[in-house]
């Protein structure tokens, strides 16, 4: 594995645990600037999430600035731009299907439906809306570079697709700190690894991941409006059916 890849992995892990020092630092700076402790305790976490993820992305992009080998193996086997776009768009639906299928299996196993991680993120977005940039764009980009390009890509050179995808996907699941939903996150990992192998372009799973996260967040934030819209639609349908 390249030296730059090791540095990226270290930077990503550091980002994940940086809140232990970063959040108190943000609170301290906020107090120095005259903000109340109650206000800073509410804003410190979303502030630090935006700062840490943004800095990590800048570090990653800097380290990859000379890495022209964005493909998985051989440039001659890269999917064409048109095919890549098709897989990127289709990958959104494949990912949503895989997520739904995995959630169904978890439900059958008695695992409670719903992700605590997602609910926490939604709460942070409501407190500090710019966090949506992290959850929908920066986060997925970092995850695809770390878990697909680096981890899966390195493993895939040494073993077949199934085991490379399995190992990298389980690590991807564990990194979300929701072991009860390991099947759900692993299904996502397999899906994005498949898109990467199919096209040899990391931008394809990045696009699908960004789009899926954005769609999920938008739906969750507007769930009340959607339910009202469905109720209105049912009332209109009943009214029309009365004629």
- The residues assigned a catalytic role are 143, 176
Closest alpha carbon to 102 in 92, 93, 113, 91:
113
Q: Would you give the end-to-end CA distance of the chain in angstroms? A: 70
Backbone angles phi, psi at 65, to 5 degrees: -60, -30
Helices (H) and strands (E) in the chain, counts: 12, 0
Give the Cα separation of 146 and 168 in Å (integer). Answer: 10
SS3 201: strand
Instruction: Tell me which residue of 150, 161, 157 sits closest to 190, measured CA to CA.
Output: 161
How far apart CA 89 and CA 161 sit, in angstroms, is 22
Token pair belonging to 82: 């048109």
Task: Please report, for residues 88, 95, 153, 192, 205, the alpha-carbon distance to residue 210 in angstroms, rounded to integers and kept in the order given.
Answer: 10, 11, 20, 11, 8
Distances (CA, A) of 243 to 67, 231, 235, 237: 66, 19, 13, 10
CA–CA gap between residue 243 and residue 134 (Å, rounded): 50
């Amino acid at each position: 594995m390249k030296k730059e890849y090791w540095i990226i992995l270290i930077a990503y892990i550091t980002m994940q645990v940086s809140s232990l020092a970063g959040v108190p630092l943000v609170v301290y700076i906020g107090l120095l600037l005259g903000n109340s402790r109650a206000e800073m305790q509410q804003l410190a976490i979303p502030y630090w999430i935006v700062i840490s993820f943004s800095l990590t992305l800048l570090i990653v992009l800097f380290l990859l600035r000379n890495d022209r080998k964005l493909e998985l193996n051989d440039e001659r086997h890269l999917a064409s731009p048109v095919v890549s776009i098709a897989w990127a768009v289709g990958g959104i639906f494949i990912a949503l299907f895989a997520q739904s299928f995995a959630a169904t299996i978890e439900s059958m196993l008695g695992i409670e439906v719903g992700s605590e991680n997602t609910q926490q993120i939604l709460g942070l977005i409501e407190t500090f809306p710019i966090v949506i940039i992290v959850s929908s764009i920066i986060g997925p980009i970092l995850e695809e570079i770390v878990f697909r390009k680096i981890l899966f890509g390195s493993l895939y050179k040494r073993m077949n697709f199934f085991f490379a995808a399995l190992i990298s996907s389980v690590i991807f699941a564990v990194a979300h700190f929701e072991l009860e939903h390991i099947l759900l996150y692993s299904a996502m990992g397999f899906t994005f690894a498949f898109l990467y192998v199919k096209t040899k372009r990391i931008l394809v799973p990045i696009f699908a991941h960004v789009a899926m996260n954005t769609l999920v967040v938008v739906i969750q934030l507007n769930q009340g409006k959607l339910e009202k819209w469905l109720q209105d639609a049912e009332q209109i349908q009943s009214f029309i059916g009365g004629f």
